Structures are given as structure tokens and as C-alpha cells.
Amino acid sequence: MTTSTTLPRDGASRAEPAWANIWESPWQESAAGPAILRGAEARPISREADGRGRSYTLRVPPGWTHVESGDATVEIFVIEGGLDVAGTTLRVYGFAGIPRGHEPVKLSSPKGAHLIVWHSLDLRGEDVYPGGLTLRRTWEEHWQQYELPGLRHGMLYKGLRDPDIVPARSTAALPVSYGST
């Protein structure tokens, strides 16, 4: 496991778990990657070994616009500011799921925003967003219980994908400690 507190310039490999503070990683004005990064500052977070799946924290300036073409499944979580997605404004804790194969979707941020973006060329849109474009205001979603063998009280979570099916895990597969990245 890597002991660095910042991420590599192209994001951490998902095949090699690492702990890092994304807030200490430098912003990149012209980060290599999908078109959604253009005109914004990005911090690459993680990447699949083959480069077909990546995640970023993205800082978009006031007036930023982008048309997501539908060539990948793109998921966006708003952590600061606001993002207009196909005419609907999402604010903090808002989430947009744009499935691969969907018609082009206009994104804009009149006042700027800080986003987390997951971009995958391999995630089949119909598997996670069978109804097409999905917009959520997570504070309106209900908490769902998730039982974990060996964890006395289980966990609560809010699913963002539709359906967001969490497979049951056997106790043999449980890690020694729990954490999130």
C-alpha cells in the first residue's frame, strides 16, 4: 500500500489500494482524460489499469458548459456550487447518472462548482440506469440498511445507481478493518 498523501498525476491505480488526501493533490488545468475535463481544473483520483474507467474531482469555473456525448457512462456528484443538467439544477449532494448510449446531455454551471466525476467506457448504462438519465437530490433519498456479517449493527447507505444492488458478502471475504476511500 502506498504511503503518499497525494495522488499520482494520473490518479491511483484501482488494482493497488492506496490512501491519499485528494485535497492535497495539485489541480491540473489540462489533465489528460475525457472531454468533460476541458475548461476545468481536475484532480485525477483513480483509474482502471486499462484507462477505461477514471474518477476525478473537478472544479468548473463560472460559465462552464459541456455537452456529454453519451460515449461513456458518466456519474457526477456535486460537492459545492451548482450544476445544470439538461435544464435541471443540482446543488450540493445532487447526483447525475448519464448512461453510455444516452443522447447528448448539456451540462453547465453558471456560478461554478466542485464535482466528483466517475467516467467509464465499460460500465453498461442499461445495467445501472435502465430508465436513462438519472438525477437525484440525495438528501431526499431514504437511507437503506445493509447488513454485513461480522459488523454488529450493519450500515446505512443511499444508493445512487438505479438499481443499486449491493451483493451480499460472505464472512470469509470481509476485510480485517473497514474504511472508505
Predicted pLDDT of residue 181? 37
Please tell me the predicted confidence (pLDDT) of residue 51.
79
Please give the CATH superfamily to which domain 12-141 belongs: Jelly Rolls (2.60.120.10)
76 neighbors 43 (Cβ within 8 angstroms): no
Burial 139-169 (b: 16+ CB within 10 A, else e): eeeeeeeeeeeeeeeeeeeebbbeeeeeeee
Domain ranges across the chain: 12-141
Q: What is the pLDDT of residue 97?
A: 94
What are residue 178's DSSP bridge partners? none
Spell out, as residue ranges, where the chain has pLDDT lower than 70.
1-6, 9, 31, 162-181
